[in-house]
Amino acid sequence: MQALSTTSHIKRTKRGRITIKSGSKAKRVIQWTILLFIVSTVMAFMFFDYTGLDIISAITETAYNLKVMFLEPALSHFTWAEAFYQVGITLGLAVLSTVLGAVIAFVLALMAATNLSKEWVSKSVRIIVAFIRAVPTVLWVLIFAIAAGLGSEAAVLGMLFHSVAYLVKAFSEAIEEIDAGVLEALRATGSSWWHIVTHAVLPSTFTYLLSWTFLRFEINFSVAVAMGAAAGAGGIGFELFMASEFYFDLSEVGFITYAILIIAIMLEILSTRLKNRYL
């Protein structure tokens, strides 16, 4: 009976009869959500405008374009030295926005954590960063592009804004997982707030802070690629935009795509090694 109750709902009626309903409320919500997504997807395909579309020709041309991109990669409009330079710009944008964002986010996370800060301060910080986090990074970059002009400054500011909001949530949740007994013991000995941060918070959460920071760095690298074209920040993203939209050089698009993929794999390997070393 105990095993049955974990997967079914047992309800006794007024007449003494027992009715058994399989599943749970959460399971039904998931099923209805999946069904809604399926119906929405089918309806989206039904409302597409297929005027003038030749399916056979479209498939053939797409296959040819993919073959040229991924089987014939080549550089045409810039050299290898320029390629490394542009990759360095993109990495620089990601590093700058991540490092500055992590430092600012740590300070704000101490204020947002409920076990280290007053309730009104914690709620105020959380509401502000929730609003910032709700706005996409691209929109923040475009907002700063209006204020500061197109360039790397707008890209860094926009990415920094969203990185801070993202990391504040992650850092504050990691800080709140600290054993309350440790904090109470330090407070009982007369430790100051800063002493608690340096001797309890940092040692207990360092690995989590490192992991979240590196995860955000990987995200910022991908965003920096996109912002290279959207905000005129340069980097390998701008070259990808020029090759695809201006030159329509599919071989160069394939080369840049491979370069971005290799860097992403290298960042993942580095992230794994750091986690294995410090966790």
- The mean pLDDT values, 10 residues at a time, for the chain of 279 residues are 46 54 75 93 84 83 90 85 89 92 94 89 92 89 81 86 93 90 86 87 88 90 84 81 86 91 88 75
Which tokens sit at 77?
């409009």
The Cα 189–Cα 176 span in angstroms is 21
Q: Are 69 and 243 in contact (CB under 8 A)?
A: no
Q: pTM for this one?
A: 0.77
Answer whether 278's CB lies under 8 Å from 268's CB: no
What's residue 220's pLDDT?
92
What number of helices (H) and strands (E) belong to the chain?
A: 12, 2
Looking at residue 204, its pLDDT comes to 86
pLDDT of residue 175: 92
Q: What is the pLDDT of residue 33?
A: 93
DSSP state string for 224-274: HHHHHHHS---SHHHHHHIIIIIS--HHHHHHHHHHHHHHHHHHHHHHHHH
Query: Which residue is listed with tokens 């360092």?
Result: 206
What is the reported pLDDT for 29? 87
Give the distance between the most distant pair of CA atoms in the chain.
Answer: 84
Decide: 231 and 158 in contact? Cβ < 8 Å: yes
Please tell me the predicted confidence (pLDDT) of residue 55. 83
Reduced to 3 states (helix: H, G, I; strand: E, B; else coil), residue 9 is strand
pLDDT for 165: 93
The CATH code of domain 75-278 reads 1.10.3720.10
Cα separation, 104 vs 101, in Å, equals 5
Bridge partners (DSSP) of residue 11 are 19
Check residue 6 and give its pLDDT.
Answer: 44
Domain definitions of the chain by residue range: 2-46, 75-278
Q: Which residue has the tokens 């101490």?
A: 110
pLDDT at 100: 94
